[in-house]
Amino acid sequence: MVDRILHGDTRAVAQAISLVENNVKESTDILRALFPRTGNAYRIGITGPPGVGKSTLTNRLAKHYRAQKCKVGIIAVDPTSPFTGGALLGDRVRMSDVELDEGVFIRSMASRGSLGGLSRKAREAADILDAAGYNIILMETVGVGQSELDILRAVDTTVVVLVPESGDGIQAMKAGLMEIADLFVMNKADRPGADQASASIEFVLGLRPHSGQDWQVRIVKTHAHEGQGITEAAAMIDQHRSYLQTSNAFVERRKKQLKQRIQEIINEQLHFDFWIPERTAFLTQQIEKVFSRSLTPYDVAQKLIAHFKQPRGK
């Protein structure tokens, strides 16, 4: 399978991502084998509140990069995205036309009902696409919640998409999107209030401390549905990429991501090693005593940790 992935076989790519998604043990071996061939794709996060047109923008950007002969991978982790088949109450948007393009690989990953580790899985899926020779990876996520934010911490450029209405700018700031945005897209910019909304985001950006960084976050207006502003948005992404790559920032960012990745692998492994049936059963057993206050949570935790740490065979 590793060989087939490295040769860009889309069926092998899809299968490997499924193994990752279902937490199949062999997926680690595949990822380990693929890792030396990763690091070449440029990863772009597309985020913002529901209904702002993230998928349409993702779709348009994919087309833009295809016109530049790039292979494009799309990973959609968004309950409201047409890629994921979400749109719980809203209109079901037509499926993307890039889906028929062989140079575009689209994979949706559900955020609900996931077996956990969603952000890890999304990043591992990106690694598989990276090793398979995709040059651009677009990761679409609604950007609310820890695992979604974790996904964005693993991209090179984060695009925050907003629309003129509903004070999204301030909401976005409160949700922490402001801190992670490398670029804002004001989509549906044909609607009234677009200039004012852009101005207020610029105002907020002006308040933000620069923390010694040279990159100045800016706003691009688009009307993605009509294909307007896409070239400008892509040009801004390129500018950010050049900024990262000519400064030390790119290498630093990627090293930091690898460090977080290792810490995450360790946490998952420790969790797996810790919660063997014996200790899980002990915990369930002791809850009664904790509930009746004859034991404290700290006592039970201590006993379980001591059991975990004792050398085998004793």
Q: Which residues bind its own copies (CB under 8 A)?
A: 28, 31-32, 35-39, 49-50, 79-80, 88-90, 142, 144-147, 166, 170-171, 173-176, 204, 251, 254-255, 258-259, 261-263, 265-267, 269-271, 273-274, 283-284, 287-288, 290-291, 293-294, 296-301, 304-305, 311
**How far apart, in whole angstroms, are the C-alpha atoms of residue 242 and residue 239?**
5
Could you tell me which residues are beta bridge partners of residue 72? 104, 136
Could you tell me the smallest distance in angstroms from the CB atom of residue 146 to its own copies? Answer: 4
- With respect to its own copies, which residue has the nearer C-beta, 180 or 290? 290
Could you tell me the smallest distance in angstroms from the CB atom of residue 63 to its own copies? Answer: 27
Could you tell me the smallest distance in angstroms from the CB atom of residue 104 to its own copies? Answer: 26
- With respect to its own copies, which residue has the nearer C-beta, 216 or 284? 284
- With respect to its own copies, which residue has the nearer C-beta, 63 or 153? 153
Question: How big is the chain, counted in residues?
Answer: 314
- With respect to its own copies, which residue has the nearer C-beta, 231 or 263? 263
Could you tell me the smallest distance in angstroms from the CB atom of residue 36 to its own copies? Answer: 5
CB atoms closer than 10 angstroms to residue 205? 17
Could you tell me the smallest distance in angstroms from the CB atom of residue 286 to its own copies? Answer: 8
Task: Output the six-digit token pair for 45.
Answer: 């996060």
Could you tell me the smallest distance in angstroms from the CB atom of residue 94 to its own copies? Answer: 21
Task: Output the six-digit token pair for 64.
Answer: 């833009």
**How far apart, in whole angstroms, are the C-alpha atoms of residue 141 and residue 76?**
6
Look up residue 215 and give its amino acid: W
- With respect to its own copies, which residue has the nearer C-beta, 22 or 263? 263
Q: Which phi and psi angles does 263 have, rounded to 5°?
A: -60, -35
Q: 36 exposed, middle or buried (CB, 10 Å; 0-12, 13-18, 19+)?
A: exposed
- With respect to its own copies, which residue has the nearer C-beta, 11 or 271? 271
Could you tell me the smallest distance in angstroms from the CB atom of residue 231 to its own copies? Answer: 31
- With respect to its own copies, which residue has the nearer C-beta, 56 or 81? 81
